[in-house]
A and B are shown apart, each in its own frame.
Chain A
Amino acid sequence: MNLAKLKKIRVYVALLFFVITLLLFLDIIHLIPARLTPYLLYFQFVPSAVKFFNQYSLLATGFLIVLILTFLFGRIYCSSVCPLGTLQDIISRVAITLKKNKLYQMFRDFKLLKYSILTVTILSLFSGSMILLNLLDPFSLAGKIFSNVFRLLLIPFNNLAALTLEQFNIYRVYPIELKALSWIAISFSSIVLLIIGIMSFTNGRLFCNTVCPVGTLLGLTSRLSLFKIKIEETDCSGCGVCETVCKAGCIDNEKKKIDFERCVNCFNCFTVCPSNGIVYKKSLPSFSNNKKTATDFDKRKFFTRLFIGVIGLSEFLRAQVKVIPKKKSTVPVIIELYPSPPGSESVERFYSNCTACHLCVAACPTHVLQPSFLEHGFFNILQPFMDNAAAYCTFECIRCTEVCPTGALLPLTVEKKTKVQIGKTIFVKENCIVETEGTECGACSEHCPTKAVIMVPYKNNIKIPEVKNEYCVGCGACEYACPTIPYKAIYVEGNLIHQIAEVAPQERLQQEIDYKEEFPF
């Protein structure tokens, strides 16, 4: 097979994965059926792995296939599937066009940094904290950039189009109201985009070989690859063109060596080599001829120390993520535990399975799901929370549970979803309009889909809300609708473990209607 063709195939595959992923996040009018998401994101490494370990689902085996591919051919994932990788390639491509003759060159291998990051990330996962994965997983980082930067930039264009068309009485394109903005998510994502942008603009895939834990893990795996890209010394003319096109900076032309651990399988080198000097070659794992050098010894010592250090850290993290509900308070309203979204089963399960990719944030039709700052605690920063000030959870909507790629939100049927109680409602009578103004309000009860909030007779023939939490699903409709400011008179306090709400007994109304009877007026 002509190896040069591999690059072309890689580019098409990468663009396909990139466009699919990008569209999922930019689908502001929700055209793509949510149920397709698990299939479209099947190969995304971290979401698939997280899902696999929490669900053992067949739909979560994508990461295994990626691992098998890596064992066979190296880090195929990095240049073909990873949306952050392709984003960097696009930036590098622009850089090359702008810089014209200044291309890549071999750069150093930040071993200490990359192994430390990977080790700390993995150990923090064992301790049950997702924070490092949330901040480093390439898919979730891409998701955050797509959702909090690109999507938010797209909305003004949509709205401009909508308002322009409206002048011609065309209402097909409609403006999208941003009901809440998470400044922390926007800032974080913009900074990440900036850093990754600069890194890829100057040094190609530097991020993937220094910071990215998935890159490092797949790199370690690729040490064992059956087929590796190598320089055939007999055929190599030593022209060094391959080094100039290597985004990963892993080709050393002088020594005629390729550091395959850092190779992202972009296949650029195949296309430029004038003498077939670069080949995909079968290579048996070569542990045995690993010479025991001083560096290897240092490495081992380093890992031991790191391990001990991280165990300590993980214990610290574990102590931090424990959810301890505080005591209840009245006016002003302080929510002690924000509910976790439907399908997450419990707050802790949500914390330990969500990688904060923000796909649910992009998919939520009401935008009640917003990236959190401290709502879920610092160690769960950026994981989505139910922002009932912005909107409320639509009773029969299951979109977030359908799109979640990590299984942090497990799929729910509409039937089940309408009974899952993610939180309970607390009524603060002292804040209520009925109490303070002495007039009818009932906005909370109106919006309640289960009649967990009902209006009961109160002073002067008016009605006041009463909460029946056995029927409450914690959707937050009452809290959203409540007109009191600055503190709501009714709000949702999360359940540590989701419960099942009862269904209010419904006796069919016995009303005989005689359609021939005269009107009562």
Chain B
Amino acid sequence: MDRRDFIKKSIQAGIILGSANSIGRHFNLFASQTPYPSNNYDLAAIKGGEPDVMFDKAIESLGGMKAFVKKGQKVVVKPNIGWDVVPEKAANTNPILVKRIVQHCYEAGAKEVYVFDNTCDDWKRCYSNSGIERAVKDAGGKMVSGDSERYYQKVDVKQGKKLTSTKVHELILDSDVFINVPILKHHSSTDLTIAMKNLMGNVWDRRYWHANNLHQCIADFTSFKKPDLNIIDAYYVMKRNGPRGVSKADVVLMKSQIISTDIVAADAAAAKLFGTEPEDISYIKLAAEMNLGEMDLSRLNINRIIL
């Protein structure tokens, strides 16, 4: 909460400084002292580079990882590691991106960086064949199992309409910073899986969601704990046969990435990138209606970077 207040205040400070800036152009003295650069972007979209290069540029434009991770903090990074497939099949988040994120966290002073997912396929094979286990270990992060109910603690989802309580992985509950790193891809039942849908890997019992209005449950759970940062991997994008995919023929090389603190905005932008209107994805609409974020991209300050 303290950190959130801090961010809020710094944003306010940024606005004041920004307006001061517009009044007198020589007021640059304070600009360098704020944790944010003077341009307060709500969302950064980048394309045309490798996953790590794009991340470097995009996160820099949002003030760098130090804007989100403070010294000594415990960070949990939650990629999509749902399937026992190789990175080129684009069912899991790109390992190069995950590695870069973990490195940035440590550079920003993180005490520890944990990575986990409650996978669909056998978790050990998913961790290994997705390339994420290797990538995280190389960057000094720790892979944690999501495969045991013992790690999950029961919580109430206060704003939930269908999902009112669920069991959530302790890393999500205990960490200081929660970074959500989904991959953008087609999904057989929800059309698209992006940032909000990726949070399904934080809970133990997914069957309940499927049995109780999947779209509403996705929106409900988003209200429980919103990630501090959403980094959407759209380097390889699975355009059909999602979420698992059948072969590499399902995949298009889009070389894109979207970063935002606003999970609804991030999903809306990614949907557009995919070629779908955000309002056509039920859970995005439901989440916007629950005021969990901004679906209307025209109301956001977007930094568009083309490499």
Q: Which residues of A contact B (CB under 8 A)?
A: 30, 159, 162-163, 169, 171, 174-177, 365-366, 394-397, 433, 437, 439-443, 445-451, 454-455, 463, 481-484, 504, 506-509, 511, 513, 515-516, 518-521
Contacts and interface: CB of A to CB of B under 8 A. Distances in A.
B188 A445 contact: yes
Given A397-B122, A515-B47, A520-B272, A449 B189 contact: no
Nearest to B283: A440
B5 to A, nearest CB: 27
Contact of A481 (B142, B148, B207, B249): B207
Nearest to A434: B189
A244 to B, nearest CB: 51
Interface string B155-167: 0000000000000
A441 B189 contact: yes
Interface of B is mostly: mixed
Nearest to A450: B246
B56 interface: no
Interface stretch (B15-23, B30-38, B224-232, B236-244): B236-244
Interface of A is mostly: loop
Given A395-B84, A518-B304, A519-B273, A446 B207 contact: no
Contacts of A365: 122, 124-125
A397 B128 CA distance: 13
Contact of B211 (A449, A483, A519): A483
Which range holds the interface residue count of chain B?
Answer: 35 or more
Interface of B: 45, 47-48, 84, 112, 114, 120-122, 124-125, 129, 142-145, 147-151, 187-190, 206-208, 210-215, 239-241, 243-244, 246-247, 249-255, 268-269, 272-273, 275, 282, 297, 302, 304, 306-307
Residue in A176, A177, A446, A454 whose Cβ sees the most chain B Cβ within 10 Å: A446
Contact of A176 (B47, B148, B189, B268): B148
Contact of B252 (A171, A442, A446, A511): A511
Shortest beta-carbon contacts, A-B, top 5: A442-B189, A483-B207, A174-B145, A483-B211, A175-B148
Contact of B250 (A175, A447, A448, A506): A506
Contacts of B212: 437, 439
Given A455-B188, A515-B48, A520-B272, A506 B121 contact: no
A519 B215 contact: no
Given A396-B129, A455-B189, A521-B297, 19 more contacts: A159-B148, A394-B121, A394-B122, A397-B125, A441-B211, A441-B214, A442-B189, A443-B206, A446-B188, A449-B244, A483-B211, A509-B250, A513-B253, A519-B45, A519-B272, A519-B273, A520-B272, A521-B268, A521-B273
